[in-house]
Amino acid sequence: SHSRLSYAPRTAIHMQTKLILASASARRSKILAALGVAFEVVIPQVAEVIYARDARRTALENAALKSAWCRARYPDCYSLAADTLIEFEGRCIGKARTPDEGMAFLRMFSGTTHLVFTAVAMTKAPAEPELILAESAVRFRKLSEAEIRTYFASVNPMDRAGAYDIDEQGETLVAGYTGSRTNIMGLPAEAVTAWLRQEGLL
């Protein structure tokens, strides 16, 4: 890709408006692409923190860590880093480590409501990022063991917080939600759109 880039006209405007999505998440890429902005994906190599009883603080600190990693390596680039976590009965829930743990999450969520937090760090390096925290509430249907196993077999949601994806057969699990749907997927499009417009990227 570097050789291809070298043939492109290196206009000042291209270099100025380059946006990096600091995330490996396919859903974040999908949401950002749907907003109609050009970006490149870079996967930040950071040791994420986790506060067992504080999902908000965990999400905000991880988004800030990913943003700092990105700013140090890509000076003068716009970047967007995010972290999504679930808060359930005072506990911070991230990605499942094993399929069994993932199915245990779904059993736990069955018939109850949990909160989804996505922290987003948006900046043009080297400035400190604008940090926002979006919050949505998700109410799960009462799930049978068969429904949980079927969902896991068909979706394989191991890389998602709480081991489910509202955008992928989510109707089989979710009875309803409040707040931003894209926040539940991992990137609150409303807040990101406002920032992109403010920076002249959209």
**Packed helices 26-34 and 189-198: angle between N→C axes, nearest 10 degrees:** 50
Asked whether the beta carbons of 63 and 84 are under 8 A apart, the reply is no
Sign of CA dihedral 68, 86, 118, 170: positive
Q: For this structure, is 165 an active site residue? A: no
Sign of CA dihedral 25, 123, 31, 63: positive
Give me the residues paired with residue 131 across strands: 121
Annotated catalytic residue within 54, 76, 83, 167 = 83
Dist. CA 43–CA 73, nearest whole Å: 12
Dist. CA 79–CA 19, nearest whole Å: 5
Q: How far, in Å, are 163, 185, 200 from residue 76 at the CA level? A: 36, 29, 15
Give me the residues paired with residue 116 across strands: 86, 136
Contacts of 44 (CB under 8 A, 6+ apart): 22, 23, 65, 66, 69, 70, 81
Which sequence positions are flagged as catalytic?
83
